[in-house]
Amino acid sequence: MYLKNSKKIVIKIGSSLLVDKEKKIRKKWLSSFAKDIKKLKSNNQKIIIVSSGAIALGCKKMNYNKKNLKLDKSQAIASIGQIELMNLFLETFSKYKLDISQILLTLDDTEERRRSINAKRTFENLFDLDFIPIVNENDTIATSEIKYGDNDRLASRVAQITNADTLILLSDVDGLYTKNPKKFKDAQLIKKVIDLDKVIKNINIKGMTELGSGGMNTKIEAAKICNLAGCNMVIANGLSLNPIDRIQSEDNCTWFISRISKMHARKKWIISSISPKGELIIDDGAKKALHSGKSLLAAGIKKVVGRFNKGDHIKILDNKKKEFARGLSSFSSKEINLIMGCHSNEIQKILGYVSKSEVVHKDDMVEI
């Protein structure tokens, strides 16, 4: 039910699903996964895939042992493996007439507000072009200080910045158990988690670290991020064929249900992010457009107050200087001073470079 009602879904797949223990590529599995994606897209659901496997495929090509790799060497291997990974997806997905694109992210790309806004816009434009973004951590440049270290948390951040409804973590276990199922026969699968903190208190997570490449700890951390973003998350066994279809038909998995709505989570994040850095005073026409759910364009701006950077939190005031909205600016105050009152098609000529048309995007704005 949760999956069926999701308009935007992020799916994380681990390297063990793509490459087996004998280092053979699981082409049959990937083909069945592509069929699942095709079915989701036929229901007009937007899909993002967060995939591990670049280093594993690089090691396979170069005949290296992953365990013996140092950071600088693993970055080079990841660079080789990225091409192998994308070629694998391209070869398989094109058979089902699915178009793919690649997005490489580092920790800073989702933690820094300005970069996360840029990433969000890229995802939206790819959806408009009917492409499926395939995301991976940029292992080729990420140092140990700026690495996620696992794709569970990367996937949860992607779900957060794209405002996704559901995150699917395809693992090598069915979900979260009351105990480690590999050690205890009486371990039971927890099918639904609503109060995450309460459930965790009754489980020895430390005893489950071998479950999945990232361990159960990272999956719990991912669930916390999703819950705060108003996004549901599910841990499911991805080793079988047609793993997404099985989630819906068998329901042998663990759902983490967010208790807050996406809209409430986003509003809360924007309003409480930090104290506003500046103000925009707009005309009545722009105010009316914002009330009807439109983005703020340069043409409706009358005055800029204060100095702020792209991505900063700002107030939006009407021509009587009464605050009625807050949002994240897509331009700096310096840029807005140059383009205010102008039509969107004039922005490139004024600034001298290609830029966005919305000064504050509707998704980054909250009416007070």
Entry pTM: 0.76
62-66, 171-175, 194-198, 312-316, range with the lowest pLDDT: 62-66
State the first-to-last Cα distance of the chain, in angstroms, to the nearest integer: 33
Q: Where are the beta strands (DSSP E) in 20-165?
A: 46-51, 100-105, 132-137
Mean pLDDT value across residues 315-333: 92
Q: With 60 as the cut, is the pLDDT of residue 143 above it?
A: no
Structure tokens at 196: 């995450």
Q: With 60 as the cut, is the pLDDT of residue 145 above it?
A: no
pLDDT digits (tens, 9 = 90+) for 7-23: 999 999 988 899 888 88
Q: Domains in the chain, start-ordered, CATH in brackets?
A: 8-266 (3.40.1160.10), 274-367 (2.30.130.10)
Tell me the pLDDT band of 112, cut-offs 50, 70 and 90: low
What's the pLDDT at 128?
94
Mean pLDDT value across residues 321-349: 93
Tell me the pLDDT band of 223, cut-offs 50, 70 and 90: very high
Q: With 50 as the cut, is the pLDDT of residue 221 above it?
A: yes
Highest mean pLDDT among 98-102, 184-188, 260-264: 98-102
What's the pLDDT at 292?
92
What's the pLDDT at 322?
92
Tell me the pLDDT band of 65, cut-offs 50, 70 and 90: confident
Collapsing DSSP to helix, strand or coil, 105 comes out as strand
Average pLDDT, whole number, for the chain? Answer: 86
What's the pLDDT at 296?
96
Torsion of CA 314, 318, 322, 326, to 10 degrees: -30
What's the pLDDT at 153?
86
C-alpha to C-alpha distance for 283 and 308, rounded to whole angstroms: 21
Comparing CA positions, the residue from 162, 156, 233 lying closest to residue 196 is 233
What's the pLDDT at 139?
61
C-alpha to C-alpha distances, 175 to 62, 180, 192, nearest whole angstrom: 34, 11, 10
